[in-house]
Amino acid sequence: MTAPFDDRDGKIWMDGELVEWRDAKVHVLTHALHYASAVFEGERCYDGKVFKTREHAQRLIDSGRALDMELPWTVDEIVRAKDDTLRANGFENAYVRCIAWRGSGPDMGVAAKNNPVRMAVCTWEWGSYYGDAKWQGAKLDIAKWKRPSPETVPSHAKAAGLYMICTMSKHAAEAKGCSDAMMYDYRGYVAEATGANIFFVKDGEVHTPLADCFLNGLTRQTVIGLLKDKGVTVHERHIRPEEIDGFQECWLTGSAAEITPVAQIGDWHFQVGHMAREVSDAYEKLVRS
């Protein structure tokens, strides 16, 4: 059984210092706990190098600004904090989680301008996000919750509060024996999985939902670049549910998910085909280059 995340050996970077893992605590009146005023990044370190570390650090800062929360750290300082945390824990291949949040302070209502912005960096060894599905193909449920309109939430921020419907959707999927759930957007178009972007293949061309109301993942952007470099046509567009039946392959992308083929979404089935495997191999080679 995996040890609970609050009871492990190791070091966590908090507000500029490396502290013992079990001592990395916050107060119960932390603003983020009550109002979800937090942003985060999920990253992977391969052979001692965090993939796209500066891009992730910049997105953390940008997400904070989207929530009217200015982070008091620069890209260089965040990158250094990640490197220090990995080194302190002796990891060469690991998952990295950076999180910034409004802490406890004089404000304890909706407004929190007077509360400090805090940050932590944690890292742990983590294998395949979807387990054996990475090779066999994941099975996805279809979520009842939809990704919201960008007029209602800062949908392009990697903000903690945006993931609550993802948690509920994944719980429902797991109860049905699925690895994850595919979500539609507020208009009814295909959007993404609960924590990963989605791609489809038809007749040698790739189709992926236009990221106009959900996070345009860094892994998503990387995969699109890899495909185009190989001369594959990539269509970023709105995809209607009735089109899914015509796709031959499907895969998910994300820092945690990496490249995971999909074998089934609801009643739709896909082959774990050569394009998904080629993209996965190219991605693996890139992140370890």
What are the helix (H) ranges across the chain?
31-35, 53-66, 75-89, 133-136, 164-175, 218-229, 274-287
- In order of 32, 52, 283, the CA distances from 75 in angstroms are 22, 12, 24
**Where are the alpha helices (H) located in 11-163, listed in sequence order?**
31-35, 53-66, 75-89, 133-136
User: What does the block give as tokens for 40?
Assistant: 């985060």
Token reading at 75: 């890209």
Amino acid code (one letter) for 253: T
User: In this structure, what token pair is assigned to residue 234?
Assistant: 């990539």
Give catalytic status of residue 158 as yes or no.
Answer: yes
Nearest to 286 by CA among 99, 47, 56: 47
Find the catalytic residue in 11, 52, 139, 158: 158
List the catalytic residues.
Answer: 158
